[in-house]
Amino acid sequence: MAFQFTDANFKKEALESDKPVLVDFYADWCGPCKMMAPVIEELAGEYDGILKIGKLNVDDNPDTARQYRVMSIPTLIIFKNGEVVDTVVGVVAKNALKEKLDAHK
């Protein structure tokens, strides 16, 4: 199951993670975000123990979304050692996202 990031836990769980992290910035009302949700859940299972994969609701956690200048959702950001290493905006195919993740694991 995908991890739930919040403004309160983001620094510890994403930036200080010892594994690469994929954060899905989403909102419950967003159609394209709903399309990505099953992909994120599948990837969370497939990469369990290798990467940390989770979601951050931009409506409930505006500070983190603002900090990373998330203007469109879904926005998927890959972090490694606390730094942004890749960003994808919009709906993306699972295999394309896997290629990006594999490059950073």
Q: Name the active-site residue from 21, 30, 40, 101.
A: 30
Q: Name the active-site residue from 33, 39, 43, 65.
A: 33
Question: Does the active-site annotation cover 30?
Answer: yes
Question: Does the active-site annotation cover 70?
Answer: no
Q: What is the DSSP string of the chain?
A: --EEE-TTTHIIIIIT-SS-EEEEEE-TT-HHHHHHHHHHHHHHHHTTTTSEEEEEETTT-HHHHHHTT--SSSEEEEEETTEEEEEEES---HHHHHHHHHTT-
Catalytic residues: 30, 33
